[in-house]
A and B are shown apart, each in its own frame.
Chain A
Amino acid sequence: MDFGLSEEQLLLQQTIDRFLEAECPSTRLHEIFDGDEAVDGSLWRGMIELGLGGLTIPEPYGGAGLGLIDLALASETLGRRAAPGPFLGHALAGVAIALGGNEEQRERWLPSLATGRCLATVALAEAGGRWDPARWQARVQGGRVTGGKAWVPCAHAADLLVVGVEGGGLALVERTAAGVEIAAVDGVDRTRRLDDVTLENAPCDVLERSRDVGGRVRDAGLCLVAADAFGGATRCIEMAVDHANTREQFGVTIGHFQAIKHRLATMSVEVEPSRALFWYAAHAWDAVPEDRQRAASLAKAHITDRFMQTARDAVEIHGGMGFTWEGDMQIWLKRAMFDRMFLGSPAAHRERVARVSGW
């Protein structure tokens, strides 16, 4: 029985947090948020140097060979700092190829994903809210794939797309290949840009080593998004507490008022216990296969709901400045909106929980 973090895991989080505190303070975060580039080159290179390109990639392929729990802990810290960039898609692509790739595919892609020489992403959803692998329709025929993929993170900056295909499988498509068209989406969360991808007879390479690879990668994604949301929510509470401890009205800091104090306590009580939920979901993905699906959907539904409400509450506690573009709160609120809808709504995941629980 040891349900807690190791020294190494704490160090990983601390290292990422310090890096982002130094390299992506509020001013820089706003510049990137307002800028045209989906991927800030120097920030992403810094993350790659920290090893974030290959945390779960097996050691023989140049990664750290860690578990999904470690990737989720990294995701938590990135969420905490609202880190902009392509981490989510890149990390999931690494999980997908490690899980479903044959020796040749792993050899070819994993080392360059770990070093960041190749930027990858995942194209899972299709229009009409089809996040569920069972509902993917992109069709593979004779080594070519045809279909439309929606809400793809950082597709136009990526070199490699891991595409969800009919039957819940995954296929690799190079972004520059013939028949790949990418159109930017005007997304709400400008720290994680999205694109629509149209594939018309694009050459592809199917990942065939593992059955249900699409489902497992989607579940890994649910854990990472849940972790991101947890990190974001805890940061919202910290920022709101800081504000309550500095902002003065009626001659005292507003944290003196029970209206504010109880609201903050409630936010904290809603969020803090769910740390154990995303830990468990990621741990289950690694080690408790029979509970993987339920835990992943439960964590995603529960924690992204909490993040949404916490971000809204934090905006209100910040008062007028919380509502401005120049304030920080808008960025976290939009991260919450992204986390809540990306990979499927909380309601959809609660229905999945009901189904896999046998209700």
Chain B
Amino acid sequence: MDLGFSEEHEAFREEVRRFLADGWPLKGEEANLKRRAQAALFRKRAIERGYLARAIPKAYGGSERPSDPLRATIIASEFARVHAPRDPGAPISQLIATLASHGTEQQKKKFLPPTITGEMVWCQGYSEPGAGSDLASLRTKAELVGDEWVINGQKIWTTAAGVAHMIYLLCRTDPDAPKHKGMSYLLVDLNQPGIEVRPLKEMNGDAHFNEVFFDDARTPADYIVGRPGEGWIVSRSTLAHERNAVGASVAVRVQFERLVELARTSERNGRPAIEDPIIRDRLAELDGYVTSHEYSGYRQLTMDVRGEKRGAIGMMNKLVSTEIGHRVAKLAFDLAGEAGLRAPLGDRKPKGDPDWMTQYMMSLGLSIAGGTSDIQRNIIGERGLGLPRDFVAQKGAR
């Protein structure tokens, strides 16, 4: 066992650090650009150096590097350290993967380069009021009329729909086919009269989600990824990405260290909370979960490097990190004491302020987004442990 990086990889880390020292944050005139333009400019440079979009061919704006989980890990951690823009996260990473593996030549040329840099902003149109965990029961429909798809229906929980240019959409194109086989994956311009976006206010006061209404919205006939009826297959591969993306164990460690700091600076019975035996016990108990998850990450990284399948542990990451998030939130709430009577600051929070009241509520959001914890338990039970599938799900799949 060896938890260190080889000389070759340490040299690579140095190279990445030097790039970041000059490259981020942007300097001079460039620092006056809008945030998104800054990020796009930086990403272009990082792609030239081979640090981002590594899985995407150069022809489509990527850096086309051989798969190397160790280099990818070094890049991710060094970029995170200085808060530099990285490859777009879920759900955009799913769109990128879908386009790269199922898109036509024309789609890849047109959409991949600006999506990779973040110039073209997307949102994901999957969930509907009547289709959450049972996504395949969605009802938003699209019909081919002449050389356009005409779309009618409603999407919900659509993150960033207020700022996005485009939406990628799962919708029903064949109402007579079995439910998993009647869906298609469409790319749609959000800026058109047939689409209305309404913000949804969350429990912490922010409004990151939206409802998106389609009333004879239109998109060109060739803005379909995969063939009509293949939408589910295309969307399934992207969902798997989303489940992995939330489970970053490094972020969990950072969050825990902040919690320890909170315990140092909070008081309990007139003394620093960290001296209280109950708080110490709860922190150490949490540290057991955090450290397990941390080294479980190195274990899985090693499996990736060796080309081994992750197996059941790979299905657990999202649930493990959201369960830790719940524990962090509850302990933070107790440490906050009377401050727990205050409303969360949400988007009004000052930079660098962890705002535990927001985190207290966000921990619940994370356990619902991208596949609820109870759905995760089904997946782990059925695919990880080999238990039989649900009666209802079996019926639906037939």
Interface set of A (CB-CB < 8 Å, partner B): 1-4, 69, 237, 241, 244-245, 252-253, 255-256, 258, 260-262, 264-266, 268-269, 272-277, 279-280, 283, 287-288, 295, 298-299, 301-302, 305, 347, 349-351, 353-354, 357, 359
Contacts and interface: CB of A to CB of B under 8 A. Distances in A.
B299 A276 contact: yes
Contact of B3 (A3, A241, A275): A3
Given A276-B299, A279-B299, A351-B280, A302 B289 contact: yes
A256 B116 CA distance: 43
Interface string B257-288: 00010011000000000100100110111011
B292 A274 contact: yes
Given A273-B292, A276-B299, A302-B289, A255 B313 contact: no
Contacts of B376: 265
Contacts of A260: 387
Interface stretch (B52-60, B201-209, B235-243, B377-385): B377-385
26 contacts: A1-B70, A2-B2, A2-B302, A3-B1, A3-B299, A4-B302, A4-B306, A255-B387, A256-B390, A262-B374, A264-B381, A265-B378, A268-B384, A269-B319, A272-B313, A273-B313, A275-B299, A275-B313, A276-B298, A276-B299, A280-B295, A287-B1, A288-B3, A350-B281, A357-B260, A359-B283
Interface pairs A-B: 7 shortest CB-CB: A302-B288, A350-B284, A276-B295, A261-B381, A265-B377, A354-B280, A3-B298
Nearest to B284: A350
Contacts of A280: 291, 295
Contact of A3 (B6, B295, B308, B313): B295
Contact of B301 (A1, A272, A305, A354): A1
Contacts of A2: 1-2, 302, 305
A261 B382 contact: yes
A3 B380 CA distance: 23
A283 B263 CA distance: 30
Contacts of B301: 1, 3
Contacts of B388: 245, 252-253, 255-256
Give the interface centre of B298, B303, B378 by most chain A CB atoms within 10 Å: B298
Nearest to B321: A273
Contact of A265 (B1, B306, B381): B381
B283 A1 contact: no
A354 B283 contact: yes
A273 B320 CA distance: 8
Contacts, number: 162
A1 B3 contact: yes
B4 interface: yes
Contacts of B380: 265, 268-269
Interface residues of B, number: 56
A354 B312 CA distance: 31
B110 interface: no
Contacts of B1: 2-4, 69, 279, 283, 287
A3 B306 CA distance: 11
A275 B385 CA distance: 16
A258 B378 contact: yes
Nearest to A276: B295
A291 to B, nearest CB: 10
Given A4-B302, A241-B387, A354-B280, A262 B377 contact: yes
Given A255-B381, A261-B377, A305-B285, 8 more contacts: A1-B2, A1-B3, A3-B301, A262-B374, A269-B316, A272-B312, A273-B313, A359-B274
| Secondary structure type dominating chain A contacts | helix
Contacts of B19: none
A301 B284 contact: yes
Contacts of A244: 387
A268 B383 CA distance: 12
Contacts of B281: 347, 350-351, 354
A268 B314 CA distance: 12
B325 to A, nearest CB: 14
Contacts of A298: 284, 287-288, 291
Give the interface centre of A1, A261, A275 by most chain B CB atoms within 10 Å: A1
A349 B384 CA distance: 32
A283 B4 CA distance: 12
B9 interface: yes
B309 to A, nearest CB: 13
Contacts of A302: 285, 288-289, 291-292
Contacts of A287: 1
Contacts of A69: 1
Contacts of A258: 374, 377-378, 390
B323 interface: yes
B293 interface: yes
Contacts of B377: 258, 261-262, 265-266, 269
A238 to B, nearest CB: 9
Contacts of B70: 1
Contacts of A261: 377-378, 381-382, 387
Contact of B385 (A264, A350, A357): A264
Nearest to B297: A276
Contacts of B387: 241, 244-245, 255-256, 260-261, 264
B377 to A, nearest CB: 4
Contacts of A241: 385-387
B75 to A, nearest CB: 14
A298 B280 CA distance: 13
Contacts of B287: 298, 353, 357
Contacts of A252: 388
Contacts of B107: none
A275 B284 contact: no
B287 to A, nearest CB: 6
Interface in B149-173: none
